[in-house]
Amino acid sequence: MSAFSRFTPLIRSLPATVPFVGPEAIERQRGRRIAARIGANESGFGPADSVFLAIQRAAGETWKYADPENYELRRALAGHLGTSPAHIAVGEGIDGLLGEIVRLVVERDTPVVTSLGGYPTFNYHVAGHGGRLVTVPYVDDREDLDGLLAAVKREAAPLIYLANPDNPMGSWWPAARIIEFAAALPDTTLLILDEAYCETAPPEALPSSESLIDRPNVIRTRTFSKAYGLAGARVGYALTTPGTAQAFDKIRNHFGMNRIGVAAAQAALSDQQYLKEVTQRIAASRDRIAGIARENGLLPLASATNFVTIDCGRDATYARSIVDRLMGDHGIFIRMPGVAPLNRCVRISTGPDAEMDLLEAALPAVLRSMAER
């Protein structure tokens, strides 16, 4: 008997896959170390010194489970956002929260609407629960709000995913359009509004906390992985109505949060001065990446995130060659969108000056070597 025969028919039908090939796997495959890790939208600037101190203090108590109610972190987040702890659910990064939301809504063949080329981990969760993805192409490198709304109504979809600011393109919609979009959705459709990059976005891109807080069919997901520099800690949270937030208690892993990560998140939230400083550094690095792209005849797209998407002006084969040669010849790790027409682009994360120096030196060399072939 095959080991796989013990699994459900759904699981037997799915490929074994990892939505992202990690930089560690790329190092193993290529047999060389990464010199500039600017492809995973982490923060190479790292967290605040105050966060490192909190991690050190928490390490001595790592033998304890974290509070299964995440009470102190939820209270701190509520104070920061001007709401109540009842409006907040905490999870293992946005990826963990997405899995829980999908589990709350999706059954076999449930239609789920998202953008074609949007965040692949969400698609992974939908497939894992047997849902049927309905995708809407981007328009002018932004998620198509009108197209998404039409797809929801056509399919009577109970779940839709929208990222604002967007990954992988870095584009965004103003808050007024997002609020209008949420109001136009049927009450039976749950909107996941992924705001992973909210700290790096312009203020006009983000609806205020109170503007959507009374809509039980809206869940806003946020993370400490980006501007706060805690990608490895895996701490995210959802902002929604108390009733919707409480639904997470039905299915979440109540001891899923690690004690050190929670302590780090609380310290990061307390150090808003560092957040202000690091978002300025991120903005400066975005400008530098855009300048490097222009100097090499490439077109940087406007970005509200901690990365810059660059239109390479040709096709996916050309963009893939840039990605592969930067890594293979120079140890510079970047990524690219996965589907056409977005995959004419590459995506470069912001980072410290030393990594930008490597990029600035390597990119023209890569482009010259490609032109000579």
Q: Give me the residue label for tokens 């410290």.
A: 352
Contacts 24+ apart (CB under 8 A), 123-126: 123/19, 124/17, 124/19, 125/98, 125/99, 126/102
From the CA atom positions of the chain, what is the Rg in Å?
A: 21
Q: Which domains does the chain have, with CATH numbers?
A: 16-46+273-372 (3.90.1150.10), 50-270 (3.40.640.10)
Regions of the chain with pLDDT less than 70 = 1-4, 373
Fill in the DSSP letter of residue 224. S
pTM for the full predicted model: 0.95
**Residues shown for the chain:** 373
**Separation CA 83–CA 119 (nearest Å):** 28
Q: What are phi and psi of 20, to 5 degrees?
A: -125, 135
**Separation CA 92–CA 253 (nearest Å):** 9
Give 189-201 pLDDT, tens digit per residue: 999 999 999 999 9
Which residues are registered as beta bridge partners of 194? 163, 221
pLDDT of residue 120: 95
Q: Exposed, middle or buried: residue 134 (CB in 10 Å: 0-12, 13-18, 19+)?
A: middle
Q: How many helices (H) and strands (E) does the chain have?
A: 14, 12
**Separation CA 122–CA 145 (nearest Å):** 18
SS3 199: helix
Nearest to 281, CA basis, from 43, 27, 60? 43
Sheet strands side by side (includes 88-91) = 88-91, 236-239, 218-223, 190-194, 159-163, 111-115, 132-136
Beta strands in 49-137 (DSSP E): 88-91, 111-115, 132-136
Do 245 and 78 touch, CB atoms closer than 8 A?
A: no
pLDDT of residue 22: 86
